[in-house]
Structure formats: C-alpha cells, structure tokens
Amino acid sequence: MTTLGTATAAPGEFATGRLPVGEARDGSEVALPVAVLNGARDGQTLYLQAVSDGDELNGVGVLQRLVPQLDPAELAGQILIVGIVNLHAFYVAEHRNPIDDTKMNRAYPGDPNGTSSERIAAATFEAAQRSDIVLDLHQGSTSRMINETRVRCGPRHRMHDECLELARVFDAGYVLDQKGPDGQLARAAPDEGIPTIDPELGGCVGWDEESIAIGVQGVKNVLVHYGFLDGEASFGEQTRASGFEQYGAPAGGLVSFRKDLAEEVSRGEPLFDVTDPFGAVKSTVTADSDGVFWRTRRLPQVATGEYVCSVGTDIDTV
C-alpha cells in the first residue's frame, strides 16, 4: 500500500485524500489535497507538489491536466502528490501564507511544532523524503517570466549533477543554476540526497496554457526517463544562466521595455526607459552584463527603486 495523509492506494490503484496540517482559526481542520498513484510494477518514487506560493496556479494546472492521463496499471513505482501546498495563501489568492506572513519556500525542511508555514513544510517534506526525485512546481509569481527550471543546491553540492540532469530532462528550455536561499525545498531535499528541481512555469495571473503544456510535458519526460513509464524521453539542449541580475527603477514613472522575454542582451544595451505620463524619457537603464532577458514586472508604473526586470547572466548550454 502507498499512503499520503488519508490517501491510500494498493498496487495498480489511484487515490485522493487530505494531509492534515493543523486547524484554522475557527477550529476546523486544515488539510492539503493529496493524491497517490501506486504503480502495478515496482520502481522509484516521485514526489510532486504545486502552489507552494499561493498565487502560482500553473503547477496545479499541470496536475489537473496530467493526473487524469496517468494509469497506475501502466506505472512502475509510485507518485506522491500534494496539489495545493500553501492552502492558506491559495484561499485568499496571495503569494505568502497570511497566517504567519511567510513565503513557504523559505520554511523547508520545516518543523512539526513550528509556525503555520513550518508545519506545512514539515508535513510535505516527509513525503519528499520518502521519494527518489522531487519536482516543486512554481512560476515567476504574477510577473512575466520565461519558462525555466531552477537548480538551487549550488554547483558545488554533491547532488548538483543529478539535479542538473533532472532539469535537462524536464526540458523547459532554460535553466537557472544558482544556489538558492535557505529554506527552499530545492535546497533541503538535495541535502537528503534527493535530486530536486524547481520548475518555474512562466509567470502569469491565473493559468497560462503554454506554460502548463510545458509543465505537463516536463513531468511526462521525467516519468519516462526515470523508468516510471515505458518509452524514451526526448529533451533538447538547455540555455543555462549561472548568474541573475535584477534591475530597479532609477526614477518614478512608467516603464517601457526595449527587450522581449528570452531575447539576448549585450552589456551596455538599453533594457528599459522610464517616462513621465506625457512620454518624456526620464531615464534609460542599460545592461550591466551580457545575458538573456528573463523576467519583468507586469504593471508599468514604478516608484524609484522598485523592481523592474531581471537578466540571466553567465550563459552557456547544458
């Protein structure tokens, strides 16, 4: 039997259930929606989670489209899935857990006696620790971003090559290979010897079908490449950024971009202008390094110092 929370599946079966993580302010149970697929044949275990950030819905879009296509009778091994990790934030369509104003992906590996986010992290990390491979489905929040996967353990970590291979197999086209901040699942799980990536499926408000399709194909590639499903995965060369530079507004006003997402950037080239409401250019910001135009804010209005865009740097292919 394979169990996650109240979901229990015998070999060849699929089950859904709930993973309790505490109580709400009215004393009712808070329990994350979970699913397990128990393959008819033995194999590895994959852990999948989505909506670690409550406004990032492309990951649950991937699950919602992919899971009905998976037949446990054709599967080797098991898939453990948490469909909505940051449930409190999901309820109110916010990025952070409103109970403790915390970003879930800074709370791993969690604490079963800690804050709300630490308890959710601990409950989901337990499932991750039972697995051989972990995919933590994210996106660039509600900003605009290319489709990429993140390898967050850092290039000197003992699991780096395995994580990078997983990113190649997922085949989003771009990889950000840079050590992430403390508390990320994609750092905590490799510390336990589990290859983990953080696919970042674009950036949008709600669902973006193109990014969701890339995510569905990415998970399918992982299932085939690692022997859960029969077949041969096909994946191409990835453009890798090992650095990431963020640009802020030097003046208040309205931003006009000079580059499109995924376009190559050369050092010294203009990235964006800030204008006043009547079109007069107040400031033009140029690139500090060569790279790829990676992410931008969604809304044009900015205050001095406010985030505008990011460029992936130190580019090569893997």
Interface contacts to Zn ion, rule CB under 5 A? 53, 56, 138
Nearer to Zn ion, 56 or 273 (CB): 56
CA distance 12 to 73: 5
**Closest by CA position to 215, among listed 108, 1, 115, 67:** 67
Minimum CB separation from Zn ion for residue 173, in Å? 18
For residue 45, give the amino acid letter.
Answer: T
**What does residue 191 show for φ and ψ, rounded to 5 degrees?**
-60, -25
Name 149's bridge partners. Answer: 175, 199
**Which residues neighbour 263 within 8 Å (Cβ) at sequence distance 6 or greater?**
292, 293
Nearer to Zn ion, 7 or 51 (CB): 51
CA distance 97 to 124: 15
Minimum CB separation from Zn ion for residue 145, in Å? 10
Minimum CB separation from Zn ion for residue 71, in Å? 30
Nearer to Zn ion, 2 or 58 (CB): 58
**Which residues neighbour 24 within 8 Å (Cβ) at sequence distance 6 or greater?**
30
Nearer to Zn ion, 143 or 239 (CB): 143
Residue positions counted in the chain: 318
Nearer to Zn ion, 56 or 162 (CB): 56
Contact by Cβ (8 Å): 42, 74: no
Minimum CB separation from Zn ion for residue 196, in Å? 14
Minimum CB separation from Zn ion for residue 150, in Å? 10
Nearer to Zn ion, 166 or 185 (CB): 185
**Maximum separation of any 2 CA atoms in the chain, in Å:** 67
Token pair for 152: 């967050």
Minimum CB separation from Zn ion for residue 48, in Å? 15
Name 97's bridge partners. Answer: 102
